Amino acid sequence: MKTIGNTAPEPAVPGRTWRRKSNAGNSTIQRNSRWPTIGASLVAMLVGMPIIALMAMAAGGDLQSLSSIGTTVLPKAAMTTLLLLAGLAVMAGSIGAIAAWLTCFFEFPGRRILTWALMLPLAVPTYISAYTFTEFFTFTGPVQGLVRELGGFASAREYWFPEIRSLGGAIIVLSLVLYPYVYLSVRALFVVQGRRGIEAGIMLGAGQVRILTSILLPLARPALALGIILVMMEAINDIGAMEFLGVQTLTFSIFSIWVNRGDAAGSAQLALALLFLVLALIGFERWARRKQRFSDPSQSSRLLFERIRLKGWRAAGATLLCFMPVGLGFGVPFLILGNYASRYLFSGFSQRMLEALATSIILASIAALVTVALAIFLSYSVRVGKSNVTGFMVRLASVGYALPGTIIALGIFLPIANLDNYVDSLMRQWFGISSGLLITGSGATLIYAYVVRFMAVAEGSIDAGFKKISPNLDDAARCFGYSRWQTLRMILLPLLRPAIITAGLLVFIDSLKELSATLMLRPFGMETTAIFIHDLASRGRIEQAGIASLLLVLAGIIPVIILSRSMATEKT
């Protein structure tokens, strides 16, 4: 075995490729680790393909189509979208921040239960929430029924009641479902840093409201911005709720132009405008927390803090303020769906619903397996590559979660369809047979869209799992002669099992509920549970989909439980 100067002999490790590099007369031994960067780049290109295709489609459109959309559709849809986002920022931001403030710093009846129950609305898909709230607030619903009974009214013309199918109604419905994003991010910051802020305020003699407005909210501004951005991005991705509530946002306009007008280029041009808005939101979120710094308070300081015990009307008010979002955002949809399911208990289990459910489970399972496998590869590439280029490529591969499903679907459909047609023409030319739609006709495009859309969810969970495993374990394995593949397969993957299960469940359930991309990419004759529910709702028969909707809501509770277990570092 050779040595270099006075250096210790290099251990002979099987399955390892080494190369020598000289620097200022000193020789060092480095491993050739190009494969992590190459592999991460290939995955990033695969994920980024829809955006490239979208730009090409938009450039292929004529100026007349662009002018028509710019004068007729874009102004109204853009204004509606901006007003929707502004309303969500105020309402969802207020609900989430107040709930986080109350559950973190005060003791009142029901606080322990409400701490995790405040996340339950996340289990309700936005389109199901829109269907149930419309039923709850419509003329035949319980709310207006109570108004007529108390006021002695005989018809709707004798009293005024706000219209739920409106922009204001959409803001209320989406805020009650999406506020947990703000609650989670703000509460996580309060748990880490807020206690010292409130202690400082008490020492200075400030009241609780003054502490909230002058200390806690400025402290939580980056987390508040992050939560609001997540709410906005979920709202931008929505099609089902906006269609049912009659609100013409940019996302719904993209779908309408493509399906009703058959104008793919015009849809792509409008999608680029929406993409610009999404990137602006992401840039604003990054800018808002550019100076964010966290200290790491000791565990002892956390334990010494005592919540302020509320009594009397203050305690009742805190309980009511925290219960209302849960009761409206989760309780109302759950009760309405439960009522539907009980009324159609036997007829609800139709052959069509069971087939749609089976299709959803198969597609979501395949998407979860593929996404988790790629996420493990990406995270492990960053771990062993330790390169800025590799890290950038992994971040680029995770950008799909920031893109609405309509943009992803539009960028996927035509390139894959063209590939299918090209293969079919070759098969006809060479063998005299037609291959048909091998990819788009099999549902593979849906799986591709799910992988692109939810890669960030899986990669974030897997990456967090890797960071809990010391790199020294990799070095020890190499000393015993293990290759990288052997180290990953035999040592790291068993330790990553909780993170892998979490990532798989999150991707599975998100894919199960996804409507926007599914609505635009599903092959003819293929129906998922989300499509089944949307189809009945669009025909005014949502009650017949009560069982299917209830199953989706119950499935959505699983990631909420996962979030509730990992949400706080404190004992609640």
Q: Residue written as tokens 């509606």?
A: 80
pTM: 0.79
* Local confidence band at 26 (pLDDT 50, 70, 90 cut-offs): very low
DSSP state of 471: T
Pick from 460, 451, 423: nearest CA to 438: 423
Instruction: Give residue 303's pLDDT.
Output: 40
Reply yes or no on whether the pLDDT at 313 is more than 70.
Answer: yes
Encoded amino acid at 253, one letter: S
Please say whether the beta carbons of 121 and 128 come within 8 A.
no
List, in order, residues 6 or more apart from 430 with CB less than 8 Å away.
none
Enclosing H/E stretch for 500: helix 497-513
Q: In terms of pLDDT, which residue wins out, 495 or 17?
A: 495
Instruction: Give residue 300's pLDDT.
Output: 39
Which parts of 6-121 are beta strand (E)?
A: 18-23, 26-31, 106-107
Instruction: Give residue 384's pLDDT.
Output: 80
Give percent of the chain with pLDDT exceeding 70.
83
* Local confidence band at 324 (pLDDT 50, 70, 90 cut-offs): very high
Reply yes or no on whether the pLDDT at 208 is more than 50.
Answer: yes
Instruction: Give residue 496's pLDDT.
Output: 86
Reply yes or no on whether the pLDDT at 33 is more than 70.
Answer: no
What's the pLDDT tens digit per position in 135-187?
Answer: 888 888 888 888 888 888 877 788 888 888 899 999 999 999 999 989 988 88
Enclosing H/E stretch for 435: none
Q: Could you state, in order of their start, the residue ranges of all structural domains in the chain?
A: 36-55+78-292+309-331+352-566
What's the pLDDT tens digit per position in 46-72?
Answer: 877 887 887 887 777 666 666 777 777
Residues across the chain? 572
Reply yes or no on whether the pLDDT at 25 is more than 50.
Answer: no
- The angle at the Cα of 59, spanning 57 to 60, to the nearest 5 degrees, equals 65
Please say whether the beta carbons of 186 and 100 come within 8 A.
yes
What's the pLDDT tens digit per position in 433-475?
Answer: 877 777 777 788 889 889 988 888 888 888 878 887 888 887 8
Q: In terms of pLDDT, which residue wins out, 251 or 400?
A: 251
Average pLDDT value over all residues in the chain: 79
List, in order, residues 6 or more apart from 170 with CB less than 8 Å away.
84, 130, 241, 242, 245, 247
How many CB atoms lie under 10 A from the CB of residue 485?
10
Reply yes or no on whether the pLDDT at 316 is more than 90.
Answer: yes
Backbone angles phi, psi at 305, to 5 degrees: -75, 135
How many CB atoms lie under 10 A from the CB of residue 152?
8
CATH topology of domain 36-55+78-292+309-331+352-566: MetI-like fold (1.10.3720)
* Local confidence band at 20 (pLDDT 50, 70, 90 cut-offs): very low
Distances (CA, A) of 71 to 66, 74, 256, 258, 265: 9, 7, 16, 17, 16
Q: What torsion, rounded to 10 degrees, do the Cα atoms 194, 197, 199, 203 define?
A: -170
Token code pair at residue 217: 């909210």
Encoded amino acid at 481, one letter: G
Instruction: Give residue 2's pLDDT.
Output: 43
Instruction: Give residue 554's pLDDT.
Output: 86
User: Per residue, what are the HEC states of 361-421?
Assistant: HHHHHHHHHHHHHHHHHHHHHHHHHCCHHHHHHHHHHCHHHHCCHHHHHHHHHHHHHHHHH
Instruction: Give residue 95's pLDDT.
Output: 95
